[in-house]
Structure 1
Amino acid sequence: MVHLNFNRWLTKRVVELNFLSGQGVVDVACGTLGLSVLGFLVFGRRRKVKGTASDGSSSLPTHLCRYFSLAEIKAATQNFSQSFIVGVGGFGHVYKGHIDGRATPVAIKRLKPESSQGAHEFKTEIELLSQLRHRHLVSLIGYCTDKNEMILVYDYMARGTLADHLYHTDNPPLSWGQRLQICIGAARGLRYLHSDAQGTIIHRDVKSTNILLDEKWVAKVSDFGLSKMGTTTMSKTHISTAVKGSFGYLDPEYYRRQQLTVKSDVYSFGVVLCEVLCARPAVVHAVETRQMNLAEWTKSCHRDGELDQIIDPNMKGKIETECLNKYVEIAMSCIDDSGMERPSMNDVVRGLEFALQQHQNCGERNNEDAFATVPGCATNESVQCISETIFSEINDPNGR
């Protein structure tokens, strides 16, 4: 009875939001197909257990999710106090809260009432994260639907987003070793989605603000509201779907053909790699036209032998030359115009691990906060560039 009521409630919300946003009944039908399955996933079992396999994936039974009353959510956030807001996104505000007698810090994401796509994202987030457990994916603790609210409760990530430590911030710059470790962690999370989860999952909104960092700087991929799930063989095919994502990270091939593949995530991750190297956002509006799109600007500089001009000044002289060349090679291959030419996330993980090994061999300790110029490290003159073709066709700046 409980999950039947939830199905009715969510169906009503999907219909209302689709009507308000001018979408057709096709979206409603698609959205309701998985409701009975979702009811089982969400409400089937709620007991609390612990355990993680050695490869980072969960050794626990899946489909575990906890229901919170609105009173519990309000108590955790002091009635959604503005002082508790730790993030704002397309979905709504994110609050830091405490549950279980204030013993457990959590992140609480509350849907904005006017969000036209919130019901779909809310359903997708619960449907996927109730099944997934991995060291490099943010864990969903539970949700709340009291009084037509749509609220999700996650593990709290104390260090915030990757973007918080790259630009527009007062945080001290990350060392190159930290950046590599974070990139490797996020890449492992995406590799799990693409090849190790039950069926291939395409995230569809990979970006630096959706890579979160816990107290120990472990990277975790978050925000699965736009994700698509397919078969285990989908990595060799595609899903025909309307283009959604965030401007600056959209795969141009997906944009042109409206065919989503795992290589679309690879492209977006390549943009993140450019952000990490350059400490610049994916899109900058207050510069000349060629510099607006970071991915295209990076490819242009790489082609013209000018990559040293856009590397984060904090990193100059602190990255071993071979390590930098390997990292740039990976990033450029990820943002290749052709999806067929892009590596798999497994290849990306291996390449980044090799780059980290080269960096460690250069003498930096993993936990080093600040360090002097390392002998044999890349300078402006030693950055090697290879010709790349330039492509830029993404014109819609609205993203999600």
Structure 2
Amino acid sequence: MLKNNILLAFLLCVSSVAIAQQNPLLEKYRSMAIEYSHDLKAADKNIAASIELEKVAQKELYPQLAGEANFQYTGNPLQLTLDLPSMGSPVTFEGKDMKYGASVSLLQPIYTGGRLLENIRMAKYRHNISSFQEEYVRSGIYLQTDMLYWNTVARTEIVRISEDYRNSVASLAQTIRERVETGLTDPQDLLMMEVKLNEAEYQLLQAKKNFENGRMALNSLIGVELQAQTEVEDSVAGVMVEADLFYEIDNHVIRPEQKIAMEQINMAESEKKLTDSKYKPQFHIGIDGSYSSPGYDFRTGMDPNYAVYAKVSVPLFEWGKRRNEKRASTFKVNMASENLGKVTDGVKLEIQTAYNSLRQAMAQVDLTKNSLDKAYENEAMALERYNEGKASIIEVIDAQTYRQAAQINHVQAKVSAQGHYSELLKALNKY
């Protein structure tokens, strides 16, 4: 509690935290990324498949109706000759060359040792896992969209910084050129500024290239043409963190990964019960109806017939297979439980890492803003001293370089804070 109160006080003191992360553009691109994502569409199809398989498992409880047709020609059919005292000559019974017909069987499971019910539970667990996987993919898409969006915004801001830097260097170079022409300045100063100007042009081209690449990556994620002029903000916004968010860090968070691990434990337990069901009595009843030739009473034509039966099977001796399989199933349940512990530890670490990273990033935003203000002041003083002849051109160049570096550092600190905030939202399952 003390830790959270200290952090809340810290947040209130950070001057750069003024604008909420949520904004219409980001929300729009999140929705577009969700709608376009191939991974999410595949996850949705996986859910649909699991629903169908669950229905299949439920229908195993119903009677199963099967049809069969057969035809058989025997070159040497069975023949039986009997000498009967009452008959003057032997009596011969001979089978038919051809046997053919059709039959229908209706089979109803009565007791399967719990196998059918466990199969239904297994199908339900798989359905749940596919839903949790979809949830996991969705949160990952949100995070990826946030990262690409804010990186693109940062690159936009760096392009503007590079342009300002190029313009300030060009302006100073023009001033020096005019002073050289009037003989007030050493021509070497002009050469130094022209080299610096070329450097500034190179940095601007590099910044523009990075921006275009970043925007194409964002376009690819949200499903628009790669060269589309996707709208982004001019500068990276400061992070506004709801105070309630930090109170949830120490609470129990259930992430999709943990839900999947829990369902895997349930599946392992069901597999154990399925293994045990094989060694329990199996009871079925059935009805067979047929229409075939030869018919009953040795008739040559086709005749209808039927049979009603009940079947019970019980495994009696399996050389210890049941004991070994039950032990193996118990080990699998324990493995699934250990996996849940591992996943939970990873979630806790991820939350705390994102929390600490965000705190540090927000402190860096404030620090770089302070440095930027001083860099602007230093540049103005250097230019003034140079115009008064009290400073060399090198001091002015250094002051401009320091100011540009301070601007870039500030942008990087802001985009880092946005990224860590998005990571914390994902870690706390807040997307």
TM-score bracket, normalised by the shorter chain, equals under 0.3
Q: Which has the higher helix share?
A: 2
Q: TM-score normalised to the size of structure 1?
A: 0.22
- Which has the higher relative contact order, 1 or 2, with Cα contacts under 8 A spaced 6 or more apart? 2
Q: Larger Cα Rg: Structure 1 or Structure 2?
A: 2
- TM-score, reference length from structure 2: 0.21
